[in-house]
Chains A and B, each alone.
Chain A
């Protein structure tokens, strides 16, 4: 049976990250991780491919053990196999180090047809991992894909860029990041699978399972480095107006008139 691999990421709850004023490092106020919202369409795409072409879907996530609920959610949606990539040595990996860990894992899952990811994570927002995985595996990469269809021995992909939509032919295997807004409807997990997954645990891969050197991953293996984080302080520069809403509206109308807006 052909395989679709979908990579998902757990991201911190928005707003839970602050700068520690003493150490100038990022401090997370909550350890809770939520599914990267952009990954939802990649999961939906994977499940739809499974239903249409009878694929097996493997979901992978790299992170601490608290991404396990996200993997289980993906299973409940219809994924068949869960893989957790978890090792202290992975912490602090930049995009290339992350892509290397994912590519090594994907090689172990060979043969596969398609690798799907979200367009980008909402925390790092780099969108770099999918093309880097493609480069490391030596397979084609497509970004911002809206549609995938299998036709004979190749695939038809529709992707969007600043110029419009492009229809391409691509041979498998390939990696595609999925546009976050392609599906109007995301199928909820089924009760049956929600109950089923309670008894299941993901397969865990650590650094030794992937034949990686600690020097290639984590902070050590990352060629890009954050040297400083700081909070941008903003001083009040304009007028702050309080009062009853009607008065405020009148003031705003005056301002809009002086600015020739009305």
Chain B
């Protein structure tokens, strides 16, 4: 790959930066997602959109082709052997130097676990405001207004950050990935000789997941359950239904917190965003936190006793009945049909 080398102190100023999470030889797709809303904003403000990637070896990245067609105007690489593993303190310090030298207008991160570890560390070091998990960004009188669902039923908060760069983490799975034909300009940032690449952390080993990762985000059919299922035993029946329908099981936040199922099945702003062909929700009232994660489902079916429940209103078809009983009957019926 051909790139231009540029010294840290000569970086372009006043642009919008996005963190490109480059780890374990891949660029995380969420980094491409966040470019989508940022592109619109950077164009309106007449600023460049720059993806900032930290890694050890460029050649090792498997999805480099995606990078070459991403919609950023420029990609800045910081390459150093010490960046092979994620070390919160060192990575944050590298980004702090980037901010000090390039004085960006905004710096945004995908709300991945790494993004959410790094952004507050950077914000804390520089004393900057940081908004979390935003799922909407818009410009109003040249000011970036962000929004996110907040605690409680169906409440959205609009936020601003008064410090520059404006900083936020952006929800994963919220924005589609766009590509363009023209390759962004790729620059390698040269750090000064005296920069200390040391960390107080040392990664000994990385153990890949033992447990199976859920296929929720790509599932065609999802059966999900909420507090209306009343207890863990009833919730567990969803797995039986899922088997019969060749579906994946999803859950709302409260039931994950209750321990009815693992948190990696949580659909919503703090969980996974899904887009199945058919979504079947049992005993889910539809708190906004959940709804933003499934509102793009093609066909939504709700089972709930409450006619006024937001999910019932939003559904294509809603059955007004007791969810646990209905679930039992449905499983029985499907078994008989087989």
Interface residues of A (CB under 8 A from B): 11-12, 14-19, 26, 37-38, 94-96, 99, 120, 122-136, 139-144, 156, 160-171, 174, 180-181, 222-232, 234-242, 245-246, 248-249, 251-253, 255-256, 259, 261-262
Contacts and interface: CB of A to CB of B under 8 A. Distances in A.
Nearest to B152: A17
Interface residues of B, number: 92
A228 B157 contact: yes
Interface of B: 23-24, 28, 85-86, 88-89, 92, 112-114, 116-125, 127-133, 145, 150-163, 199-209, 221, 245, 247, 253-254, 257, 259, 262-263, 269-270, 277-278, 286, 288, 299-301, 307, 310, 312-322, 325-326, 329-330, 333-334, 337
B200 to A, nearest CB: 4
Grouping DSSP codes into helix (H, G, I), strand (E, B) and loop, the B interface class, with mixed when no group exceeds half, is: mixed
B121 A255 contact: no
B133 A126 contact: yes
A122 B266 CA distance: 14
Instruction: Identify which of B247, B312, B322 gathers the most chain A CB atoms within 10 Å of its CB.
Output: B312
A232 B299 contact: no
A262 B334 contact: yes
A128 B130 contact: yes
Nearest to A12: B151
Contacts of B24: 163
Pairs of residues from A and B, 8 with the lowest C-beta to C-beta distance, nearest first: A135-B124, A223-B129, A17-B152, A126-B132, A132-B124, A128-B120, A131-B120, A161-B113
Contacts of B133: 125-126
B319 A241 contact: yes
Contacts of A229: 150, 155-158
A245 B8 CA distance: 68
Contact of A240 (B121, B124, B307, B329): B307
Contacts of A228: 157-158
B314 A237 contact: yes
Nearest to B132: A126
A224 B160 contact: yes
29 contacts: A26-B155, A95-B120, A96-B127, A96-B129, A126-B120, A127-B120, A127-B132, A129-B120, A131-B119, A134-B88, A135-B125, A140-B200, A162-B28, A167-B205, A167-B206, A169-B201, A169-B204, A171-B200, A181-B262, A224-B131, A227-B159, A230-B155, A232-B154, A234-B286, A235-B313, A238-B317, A248-B319, A261-B221, A261-B245
B202 A143 contact: no
A89 B14 CA distance: 34
Given A96-B128, A134-B124, A181-B263, 16 more contacts: A96-B124, A96-B129, A124-B151, A126-B120, A128-B132, A132-B124, A162-B113, A165-B207, A167-B207, A168-B203, A231-B153, A234-B313, A237-B316, A238-B317, A245-B322, A256-B245
Contacts of A19: 155
Contacts of B254: 14
